[in-house]
Amino acid sequence: MKIWAILVVLIPVFCDGFVHKHHDYNELVRILDEVHQECPDITRRYYLNYTLIDKTYVSKTTNNRNLEVIEICTDPGVTKPHKPGRPEFKYIGNMHGNEVVSREVLLALADYLCKEYKAKNKMITWLLENTCVHIMPSMNPDGWEIAYEDFKKAEKEGRDQQWTVGRNNGNNVDLNRNFPDLDQFVFGLKATGRTDHLEKYLSREDFEKLEPETKMVIGWIHAYPFVLSSNLHGGDLVVNYPFDTTTDGSPSNYTASPDDATFVALAKSYADYNTEMINGCPNKFKEENGDCITNGAKWYAVKGELGEKKFPKTEKLEGKWNANKDALINYIAQSHIGIKGFVRDVSGNPVEARIQVKVLSNKVKDGDYYRLLDDGHYLVTATAKGYCDQSRKITVNNHKGGKYREAQLVNFVMDPCPEESGYGENENEDLDTRASVLQMLYKDYSYRQDARSLEKILEYLRNREEDYPYLQEEMEKK
């Protein structure tokens, strides 16, 4: 998902050792390494080096640079790539090489999180103990270098910088329009009710056409189960939320996603803490929503951009950090709205399941799931092959218990359903399989010690009276 937080400019000065200036690629790497050296217990440095589908190993941009990342949380990377029960969050900056404020803001954020954790800031400590934050300051380091050369030349010649120089990557491709258009997949699949795991609709040929930066980010998204993300641009001062394209092909029309209320709340969680958005929201957005947020398709039917000058003068950079700092922190905290939990079988093992909220769903692989939800009443259902569906009626109140707290815990213990997985209805079911099913039911009874699980065993045996002696013998062996 893409939430675009719009930034506009920042400044260079020394603040607790961090210099607000335009950092080139080597300086960017050095700063991330220095943050890691200063806070080795809560940081991990890595760069993207994997892809998906075509399995081609990719670790460099067109011009041979890495997409550098720093992970910040307690015990980072201890259980790769994910510690069950703790949400993963990511920020991506500088997708357009000439939109540089996000790059500098995210470098400052990494430095800030490290220093504030060391200073025992309670809010930051809570966030990093309960959230793993991944920061990629630049997705387009090649484009930045091109834009910076034009920036220096423009200053020397006393002219404005050219608007699009450095926007694209080293292959002159706009990375913001290089990703598969998942909106169209969703629109086409809406009637089926299954709009999760859309990558299965991508062909090898589709994937091979993508730029190396795009491939690496897609691989990154599949390696970590990110709960929430933001892609920071420069341009108009606005937070843009899905959908970004219209269903009817019109140039501008509000196109709500199934998560619309939640996306609106997420957009507000950034805009309401950004001092520039609070004090200087452009009228075109203020009149529509009362603040600096917009539905992407209502704004215009392409993925938007954001800020004043995209490559501001150095002396503006610190002001941009100050304007965005609280918004960046508050947005990370939104990883804990809604519900989360574990889906396990009666023996405590993780179950690969789907969590559905009305018409929404997401896949569970490691046993843990996260569903960001706005306040309200919901029916939540867990489904898994071989298990009975389980539903819960819940009420979400994200403000109950204080500003910083973990998401409401909603766990599921799945009861086996032999009749749904084919057991008991397949005439060709062999005796060994039947014995295994009976053993599974017996474990359920041993765990629960209740009449319902005992009745399942008795019903299973009643349907297989002719096999009872064999099943009894097998049960005694097990």
Catalytic residue list: 305
- Among 50, 132, 41, which Cα is nearest to 90's? 132
End-to-end CA distance of the chain: 48
Task: Return d(Cα 189, Cα 168) in angstroms, integer.
Answer: 31
Task: Return d(Cα 307, Cα 232) in angstroms, integer.
Answer: 10
Residues 6 or more apart whose CB falls under 8 angstroms from that of 117 comprise 39, 42, 124, 125, 128
Around Cβ 419, how many Cβ atoms within 10 Å?
14
- Phi then psi for residue 176, to 5 deg, are -70, -20
- Among 133, 141, 140, which Cα is nearest to 177's? 140
CA 387 to chain centre: 28
**Half-sphere exposure at residue 470, Cβ-oriented, CA atoms within 13 angstroms:** 11
Which residue's structure tokens are 């954001």? 306
Around Cβ 169, how many Cβ atoms within 10 Å?
26
Residues 6 or more apart whose CB falls under 8 angstroms from that of 439 comprise 474, 475, 478
